[in-house]
A and B are shown apart, each in its own frame.
Chain A
């Protein structure tokens, strides 16, 4: 048996260090290296920041009010210069004048809509609503889905059958019909929309959590917890629930993306958030009438929905790959 040399020991230590990397650290390293996911995170971060700062930006930089209508400034194209354009004072120098164009009174960087409202301002405030509905909607969906899934998977039997019946029933109605049915009955606002989306969208999460719960409930450590006298709720809350969390965290990003799509569709169909409150969806409602005179009304907000949802889907995919133990580096 040969003696271990110093270099062998170093090698061993390195191997040990390599192994000691936790699953989370490995996942973070993978995300950091994944250029597509990082780009999506960057784009989404920038967009969210602009949207969050909508109020100060509109008030101090653009100096516009998102709900102020102006019959003389209808359907101005993006970057169109105001008339009459000011060419005196500071604006006399062509270079300085060009640089100061955004601060000219009556200049709308992304144009105006059919009522003469500043389009950029409405996009930012509409984004707040759209993102908020997506975010809070999926959080509530997640809470309901987790609770139902845990109870259904843990108790089984009649409770499970009953819950399965509800889930099958809800899943048999195309969600847009269900949402339309509810939108017909209730007053249409952002808050109702969040509640409605959450009340109809939890079935997927519930199925997911239920499956996991059934798997975990049969593991030995749950049996030992029960043998030690832990009650059902304690087992569910402290022993099973934390183990279902990671999976849900991974579907959160794609969930938010899906909800933003749903919200925009409903609002576009006049069944979601009602004007004058802007969302990216209801800003497209009237776009069809102004195809020839104001095509920017149809393009920009849809493009923003697309980019946002695409980023969220890419991030969701990236997270899933990064945390998947089967992925090989």
Chain B
């Protein structure tokens, strides 16, 4: 088992590097960031050249990628502490050939959590992300629990009343919910509950006060209702279908017939023997669920103006804040990788029939 987990962890490493290569390659298409940031009147060409040399935007792409990934404090350093660099690898000590060495590298690289500065907010990207992570986590967890829970219950009931009215209705609803544009569904809910009926707030995470933080979650449930509902419908629709199919599959197996012939009540056979075994496939869908929640959060948070990472991503993308977009992409990808990992490990733990080879 430990060996299996270890191997799955090792498999995640090339994927992680693939993601960093892909996002860096895409971003390098956007051109020279120093030119973009200094594109204003009064900036001297000599200063631009000096900045370019300092940040190394003219270095080979591979070196630039390494700098973003692992930092440049090991590429150009100051060993005697006088503030003047005296050693370098991969990059030259005096990049702009003015006779004086460039200042020592100060970047830590994303592997050590240094995602650089936001172009727009002029603050470290990591700080901005950490500020916004909590609301998204809150929204995501509540939606995940609700989506999985309701989906499983609906799926079990649909299978128990197979071909009954409940089964038919939930089936139609599940198809409908996958075809509905999530953002439009959210708009319609807002239009109905917040604009027409005026019973739910129109957005944000809590009422605006002088304090920067929000009260505990149970005091602002009305702000959570619509975003959580919108974010969990995908889960409800998906899980109910998986659960229903899995239940109908299980119910024809021998151990169910054994349980029935032992004289157990139908209720016990359905809800204990069948449902427990039918839940195994749910474990495999945690990975895709994380993927769905992250993607859904972008749309949901944007519409409900919910101050989380999803809203931050759209704002960063619209204003072309490259360091921010790259950091958020890496964050989303890492979260997804972890989701898939958990889902595989969980699957192996619950189902002893899985072979670790």
Instruction: Decide if B329 is an interface residue (CB 8 Å cutoff).
Output: yes
Among A172, A182, A269, A270, which residue has its beta carbon within 8 angstroms of that of B299? A269
Q: A309–B179 contact, CB under 8 A?
A: yes
Instruction: Decide if A265 is an interface residue (CB 8 Å cutoff).
Output: yes
Among B178, B187, B326, B337, which residue has its beta carbon within 8 angstroms of that of A181? B326
Q: Which residues of B contact A261 (CB under 8 A)?
A: 179, 181
Distance (whole angstroms) from the CB of B119 to the closest CB of chain A? 11
Which residues of B in the span 178-204 have a Cβ within 8 Å of any Cβ on A? Answer: 178-184, 187-188, 190-191, 195
Q: A172–B15 contact, CB under 8 A?
A: yes
- In the complex with contacts A172-B19, A172-B340, A271-B181 CB distance below 8 A: no
Residue of B30, B317, B318, B340 with most chain A CB atoms under a 10 A cut-off: B317
How many A residues, CB 8 Å from partner? 46
Instruction: Decide if B118 is an interface residue (CB 8 Å cutoff).
Output: no
Which of A44-52, A67-75, A163-171 contacts its partner? A163-171
Distance (whole angstroms) from the CB of A17 to the closest CB of chain B? 34
- In the complex with contacts A168-B18, A185-B26, A176-B299 CB distance below 8 A: yes
Q: How far is the CA of A170 from the CA of B190 in the complex (A)?
A: 34
Q: How far is the CA of A185 from the CA of B31 in the complex (A)?
A: 9
- In the complex with contacts A168-B15, A168-B18, A173-B332 CB distance below 8 A: yes
Q: B313–A177 contact, CB under 8 A?
A: yes
Q: A177–B332 contact, CB under 8 A?
A: yes
Distance (whole angstroms) from the CB of B38 to the closest CB of chain A? 19
- In the complex with contacts A180-B314, A269-B314, A298-B188, A185-B332 CB distance below 8 A: no
Q: A165–B318 contact, CB under 8 A?
A: no
Residue of B nearest to A295 (CB): B191
Q: Which residues of A contact B316 (CB under 8 A)?
A: 184
Instruction: Decide if B27 is an interface residue (CB 8 Å cutoff).
Output: yes
**Shortest 4 CB-CB contacts between residues of A and residues of B:** A169-B18, A302-B184, A310-B179, A174-B295
Q: A177–B188 contact, CB under 8 A?
A: no
Instruction: Decide if B279 is an interface residue (CB 8 Å cutoff).
Output: no
Instruction: Decide if A313 is an interface residue (CB 8 Å cutoff).
Output: yes
Given A269-B314, A299-B188, 4 more pairs with CB closer than 8 A: A172-B340, A177-B329, A180-B313, A295-B195
Distance (whole angstroms) from the CB of A207 to the closest CB of chain B? 14
Q: B29–A185 contact, CB under 8 A?
A: yes
Listed A/B pairs (10) with beta-carbon separation below 8 Å: A173-B22, A173-B336, A174-B294, A177-B333, A181-B23, A186-B29, A288-B187, A302-B187, A305-B181, A309-B179
Among B195, B291, B298, B328, which residue has its beta carbon within 8 angstroms of that of A291? B195
Instruction: Decide if A292 is an interface residue (CB 8 Å cutoff).
Output: yes
Q: How far is the CA of A269 from the CA of B178 in the complex (A)?
A: 19
- In the complex with contacts A182-B26, A306-B179, A174-B187 CB distance below 8 A: no
B residues adjacent to A (C-beta < 8 A)? 14-15, 18-19, 22-23, 26-27, 29-30, 175-176, 178-184, 187-188, 190-191, 195, 291, 294-295, 298-299, 302-303, 313-314, 316-318, 320, 322, 325-326, 328-329, 332-333, 336-337, 340
Q: How far is the CA of A284 from the CA of B333 in the complex (A)?
A: 29
Q: How far is the CA of A166 from the CA of B332 in the complex (A)?
A: 17
Instruction: Decide if A264 is an interface residue (CB 8 Å cutoff).
Output: yes
Kindly count the residue-residue contacts between A and B in the assembled complex, taking CB atoms under 8 Å apart: 138
Among A257, A288, A306, A310, which residue has its beta carbon within 8 angstroms of that of B303? A288
Instruction: Decide if A175 is an interface residue (CB 8 Å cutoff).
Output: yes
Q: How far is the CA of A173 from the CA of B330 in the complex (A)?
A: 8
Q: Which residues of A contact B190 (CB under 8 A)?
A: 288, 291
Distance (whole angstroms) from the CB of A40 to the closest CB of chain B? 11
Distance (whole angstroms) from the CB of A196 to the closest CB of chain B? 10
Q: B191–A298 contact, CB under 8 A?
A: yes
Q: A177–B294 contact, CB under 8 A?
A: yes
Q: A174–B26 contact, CB under 8 A?
A: no
Residue of A nearest to B316 (CB): A184
Q: Which residues of B contact A182 (CB under 8 A)?
A: 26
Q: How far is the CA of A174 from the CA of B313 in the complex (A)?
A: 12
Q: B191–A183 contact, CB under 8 A?
A: no
